[in-house]
Structure 1
Amino acid sequence: MLSRRVGGVQQIKVNVDLHSYSELILWPYGYKKADTGTDMSVDQNNVFKTIGNQMAATNGYTAEQASDLYIADGTLNDWMFYDQGVFSYTFELYPIWCCTGGDFYPPDEQIVPQTTRNREAMLILSEYADCVYRAIGKEAQYCPAGTP
């Protein structure tokens, strides 16, 4: 991640971290309950929520701030957003709960169905990679034409 900074500017704009299990789409912050503050503006939070809900509408997952699940310090999403400015999501994949239909690790037979299930969500996020603020109609404010 750090090697993708060019001229002090992070080139990566969005990220997905894949985990199992719970069928969730999570975004920062995990370390605190507040949605916004000095480390996340209302617009940034609205971007996370809007894109998260759009993705969840395609795969049937629940979209929520990570701390709504439980408080956790040192998460990848928190670091990527706070330190690198990357809009980072965690997908907690199939199954909904541990040990449903197997164990913590889904069976091999679930690879194709679950990757297929999440394809559209990943495509949605990739469509916003040039300007995540387009999700809330503020691309002109945050992503003027000709800027990365």
Structure 2
Amino acid sequence: MRTLLALGGLLLALLAGCTEPAPPAPTAPSLPSASAVESPASWVELARSGGYTGDRWNLRVDQGERTLLPQDRTWLFEQLGDPDFRALDEQYVNEQLRDGYTIEITVGYQDGSTKKVRTTDPSTDRPAVLTGLVDLVNRLSRQ
């Protein structure tokens, strides 16, 4: 019995020495805030329709929303504020295309103006800034 008491006391002494506070749990990385995206664009509506089945897809994203992954939202609003995008014509359409898609990008800017660009996909005749946006629309519409 005395041996059990001695072992119990030893165990208590060992446990008492193990009362160091645990290190703080790691925190999840913070997402970029809406203010991290510096763009004159306030919102965008992305739409994709067509194909041989007549698919329709659309998405509205306000700059402060978490609708998209942070890196997609940041890239998107950077492109929409780029002077190359703002200088685009209203249409880059292949009238001969059958069973393709029509993609419309409508942007609202902080100054109250809007811009709408319409293109067809696939297309080989459109500016690079628009091609990147079409690629994003196609990826998002398939998720």
Per the shorter chain, which TM-score range? under 0.3
Give the TM-score normalised by structure 2.
0.25
Larger Rg: 2
Instruction: Say which structure is richer in strand.
Output: 2
More RCO (CA 8 Å, sep 6+): 1
